[in-house]
Structure 1
Amino acid sequence: MLTLFGARFAAASSARGRHFLFHLAPMTAIALALSGCMPATVPLPGADPADPAARVARVGYRSTIAPYESLRPATPAPWRERNDSAAPSPKTDR
C-alpha cells in the first residue's frame, strides 16, 4: 500500500512539475507539528477514569472450561485381556 502511494506521488509530482513537492513538504511538516499538540485521548463525559474512588461495575468470573468432564476411566483395564480380545484368532489349519 505504501509502495503504491509512493508510485502515485512520484507520478503526480513529475506530471505537475517540481514545484508541487515544495508545496507539499511544508504542509506535511505543519500537519505533523500540530498533531503533536493534540490530546492523546478525548475525555469522556462522566466519571474520571483516573479517579480511584470512581464506582465501577463488578467483575464477574466465568470459567472457560466449566462444562469439561474427564472421559478417562478411573482405573486402566488390564492390557493383556484387552490385547487378546482385539487380536485376530489364530488359524489352526497350518
Structure 2
Amino acid sequence: MLTLSGAKFAAASAVRGRHCRFHWPLLGALALALAGCMPATTEIASADPADPAAKVAPASYRSTIAPYSSLRPATPAPWRDRNDAVAPRPKQDR
C-alpha cells in the first residue's frame, strides 16, 4: 500500500514537472517506523518447539542402504547364449 502511494505521488510529481528524489528517504523512514509497529513474533500453528512437555513423534531408525544388493560382475557365461536369451523372437512367416 505504501509503495502504491509512493508510486502515485511520483507519477503526479513527474506530470507537474517536480522531481521527487528527496521524498524517497522520507518514505523509507516512514516504512521503517511503521515496521516497528508490527508484532515481533507470530502465533505458531503447532506445539511450541521450546516446550519440553510438548508431545513429539517417536524417532525411528531407517537404513539408507537397506534395499542394496551387490552388483559385482557375474561369472562369465558364453556370450552367444546370453545374447540369444535377450534377443527378440523372430516373426513367423505366413
Q: Please confirm whether the aligned pair reaches a TM-score higher than 0.5, indicating the same fold.
A: no
Name the TM tier (shorter chain).
0.3 to 0.5
Larger RCO, structure (CA 8 Å, separation 6 or more) = 2
Which has the larger share of helix?
1
